[in-house]
Amino acid sequence: MSGSIMALLSAFSFALSNICTRRGVLKIPNAPAGGYITVFISLPLFLLVALASGDIHSIATFTWKGYLWLVIAGIIHFVAGRSFLFNSIKYLGANMASVFSSLNLVYTVLLGFLVLGEQMSRNTVTGALLIIIGPALLAWPQSRKTSNSKQSADSPRLSRQGIASALLTSVFFGSSPLLIKWGLAEGGSPLAGTFISYSSAALIFGITMLNQEKKNEIIHMERHAIGWFLLAGVLGGLAQLFRYVALNLSPISIAGPLNGTGPVFLLALSFALNRKTEVFGINVILGAILVVTGAVLLYR
């Protein structure tokens, strides 16, 4: 299966994961706490998949540089990036948060060109820009409307906090693909690389849970919220696996933008499943056309 297909599967799985995350963060006061559960559930999932596929031995085949890059990628993406993402989803809603965090595509494409020396044709640049503009048009009307949740983007303070969190998310999410690419180039399989990155994040979260207050926050979390975060963790784990495979099979300037089509899937799924907590604009069709056009241009 091609890296492009894997990138699209990753985008769809991320969208489903964000749907579940939105349900979960509305039930707890501290949104980043949900990130602990998503990481802890994903780690054994990847271990089982590695055992079943025989990739478990690949974990030991990376060079020390490979381990270093994958560990750093895990901390940047799953600890820092995911914590800010959960905050932005709580305060802005999943659709609006995805618009701001989609700026990670800019970092991803530019890093692929400047650092890895990947080709940047006119079609690639145009396609990437259209993929960014499309999701922005889809959710832009929400910036002037309010969802039905108690913590909506209508509050200026919460809106600023949500936007700042989403922008920081884009920085971390946009930087991690470069580290993943470097790590996977040092031996081992994408599955093994995913497991290593998740393990580093789980270790950091485990250390922070030595704090009794943080430990109680996780243990005494509302049952329904835990259920949503568990589901979000499984879906997010699958999305990350698809993402790592895509980055291993395709140039970063191709896999990154295609993975950025997630807001299109997210809007459709939000309309079907989270209609009461999200607001939808009239630019859906135009935005979808721009995204599809951008994806086609990437292949020409």
Give me the mean pLDDT over the 276-287 stretch.
66
- Helix extents (H) in 26-103: 33-53, 64-74, 82-92, 94-101
Q: Alpha-carbon torsion 25, 284, 139, 13, what sign?
A: positive
The secondary structure of 226-264 as a DSSP string is: HHHHHHHHHHHHHHHHHHHHHHHHS-HHHHHHHHTTHHH
pLDDT digits (tens, 9 = 90+) for 243-267: 777 877 877 667 766 776 777 888 8
Give me the mean pLDDT over the 5-33 stretch.
91
Work out the pLDDT band at 270, boundaries 50, 70, 90: confident
Reported pTM: 0.81
3-class SS at 170? Answer: helix
- Measure the CA–CA gap between 2 and 172, rounded to whole angstroms: 26
Amino acid at 215: K
Cα-flanking dihedrals φ and ψ of residue 275, to 5°? Answer: -60, -30
- The per-residue pLDDT for 292 is 59
The percent of residues in the chain predicted with pLDDT above 90, rounded, is 32
- Measure the CA–CA gap between 291 and 89, rounded to whole angstroms: 22
Give me the mean pLDDT over the 3-23 stretch.
90
- Measure the CA–CA gap between 17 and 86, rounded to whole angstroms: 11
Mean pLDDT is lowest, of 133-142, 157-166, 172-181, for 133-142
pLDDT at residue 234 greater than cutoff 90: yes
pLDDT digits (tens, 9 = 90+) for 101-153: 777 777 777 787 888 777 777 877 887 788 778 767 655 544 444 444 444 44
Give me the mean pLDDT over the 216-228 stretch.
92
- Measure the CA–CA gap between 197 and 79, rounded to whole angstroms: 10
pLDDT at residue 75 greater than cutoff 90: yes
Q: What is Dmax (Cα atoms) for the chain?
A: 55
- The per-residue pLDDT for 144 is 43
pLDDT digits (tens, 9 = 90+) for 82-92: 999 999 999 88
